Amino acid sequence: MKNRFKPWGVYLLLFAGILLVAGLTTGYAETPKRGGELVAGYGQFPRHFNLAIQSGAATAIPGTSIFASLVEIDRQWKPVPYLAKSWEVSDDGLTYTFHLVHNATFHDGKPVTSEDVAFSFQIVKKYHPFGPIMLGPVDRVETPDKYTAVFKLNKPHPALFLVVSPPLLPILPKHVYNEEEHGPIRKNPANVHPVGSGPFKLVEYKAGDYFVLERYENYFRPGMPYLDRMIGRRIKDPNANFIGLKTGKFHLGMFNAGLRLKQIESLAKMKNMVVSSEGYEGIAAIYFLEFNLRKDKFKDVRVRQAIAYAIDKNFICQKLHYGYSKPATGPIHSSFPWYTKDVTLYDYNLKKANQLLDEAGFPRKANGIRFSATIDWYPGEPDSMDTIAQYLKPQLKKIGIDVQLRPPADFVSWYKRVASWQHDMTMSNIYSWGDPMIGVHRLYRCDNQKHVVWTNTSGYCNPKLDAVMAKAAVETDFAKRKALYVRMQQILTEDVPLIWTHEAPYKSVYNKELRNVVTSIWGACSPMDKIYWKNGHAPNK
């Protein structure tokens, strides 16, 4: 067997046996100190901790410190050993053999074995929202011995190393989560009282309020984690988190932690705080305005192009977002190695927008209005949702579109309206999850028009694009795969089923004495075993 896949520039598999030291370096000249606690405020709070059956940062942030995975992905997009100390890939790319460490145990003391890996594969493939896509190419996981797990594929899978990393494939203890003994996994009490093999174990949890994680003393990485405990508190009022970070009551905020960008701008000016955009490369969140293409007024591509020309993305990013966001040029985030600028761009041009609407057969009436349309959005991200919706109302009126804003009563109300395809337009976003086949294809595949949000609720279908995405999903040559994704971006920016407004202005805000806050493309959705306090404890308030 040999490693032959090179999907990310410098390519992933040049270093199977030399990675542990690189993965554990601190980036500081000082020796990491053990001790202290870390308190973080959460804008979104986990309902449970089992990320094998739930996607999203709210679950993944604590979950990846409770459950370990086969590999980690470093800042250079390369896999480094975690539960798997080494691996081989067959010449045909259809067999991945992972060799597990021998000293890993779950928090109840039971050893981690290949049977747990095979079981976790089955659970994620069946129950995770992305399971069928992420693990569809994997036929089975064989367990020839206690510490060897062999993934047998039915077709090549260029994203497999991302899939078997945090936060996508946690290794669950079979003896705790198997459905034959413990019933349906979605109802398993261990979802809220988890048993993992990661650096921290859950010791206290109050739903919707707080959780406490403490160091697992028998963690398989010697001397780690460095922190004694991590405490997560739900923050309903962003002002409370803002004040908490300013005063030192809280030490870390991730994914903006419910803060407004103006508050983050204020924190960035404080000498004891760090504001960083690092660690969101794998999440690669993009915000967009989605059209319901089942509505007659949006079926003509010229209407969609006109609206794209009427939106000033630079104004959104520089003025509304204080320079913290970046204009999105298409469906693939600029942090991804498959990104290209060689696409159809819609620079702000009201004259062109009005011309296209005239050509599409929507003349202005006596009152200057061509047609009316509603815009929905979901609550919780005011800078990237509410603010832009409010901007679009007067902006689209300039081209004769009367926008009626429908502020969300709650997330469920928005979800039901979009999932039932009752919207005209809606603000939304996606996490790209490390690879287009995992997080991006879902919005555009003809066969993925479901009554579920973050699928193809726009009703878009282009068989030519489907063919391109199908080829990209199995192409293991990096250059060929990038060419396919360049074509994907070109097709979509010509068709404009969505208008990609901006890349998420996500920031992490933390005390400057914290070390190793980001060591992975997954950022906060990674095991926090490497984080430590400069002096072994939090600074005095």
Identify the segments of the chain with pLDDT beneath 70: 1-29, 541
Q: Which of 162, 55, 83, 169 is nearest to 123 (CA)?
A: 169
Two tokens at 436?
């287009």
Burial class (CB in 10 A: 0-12, 13-18, 19+), 198: buried
Contact yes or no for 397/407 (Cβ under 8 A): no
Q: How far apart are CA 53 and CA 51, in angstroms?
A: 5
Q: Are 26 and 18 in contact (CB under 8 A)?
A: no
- Least Cα distance to 478 among 486, 466, 470 occurs for 486
pLDDT (0 to 100) of residue 28 = 58
Q: Cβ of 532: how many Cβ atoms within 10 Å?
A: 26
Short-list 519, 524, 506, 521, CA closest to 255 = 506
Q: How far apart are CA 34 and CA 79, in angstroms?
A: 26
C-alpha to C-alpha distances, 28 to 37, 272, 275, 276, nearest whole angstrom: 20, 18, 18, 17
Report the pLDDT value the prediction gives residue 23, as an integer from 0 to 100.
37
pLDDT value at position 428? 96
CATH number for the segment(s) 286-503: 3.10.105.10
In this structure, are strands 252-253 and 37-42 parallel, antiparallel, or unpaired?
Answer: parallel
The pTM is what? 0.90
Cross-strand pairs, 86: 99
Measured between alpha carbons, how far is 39 from 47 in angstroms, rounded to an integer?
A: 19
**From CA 89, how far away is CA 82, in angstroms rounded?**
17
Q: At what angle do helices 463-472 and 478-495 cross, to 10 degrees?
A: 160
* Per-residue model confidence (pLDDT) at position 541: 65
Domain locations in the chain as residue ranges: 20-225+512-533, 286-503
Query: What is the tens place of the pLDDT at every residue in 485-521?
Result: 999 999 999 999 999 999 999 999 999 999 999 999 9
Packed helices 350-359 and 301-309: angle between N→C axes, nearest 10 degrees: 160
- Report pLDDT digits (tens) over 407-436: 988 999 999 999 999 999 999 999 999 999
Architecture of domain 20-225+512-533: 3-Layer(aba) Sandwich (3.40)
Chain-centre distance for alpha carbon 415: 19
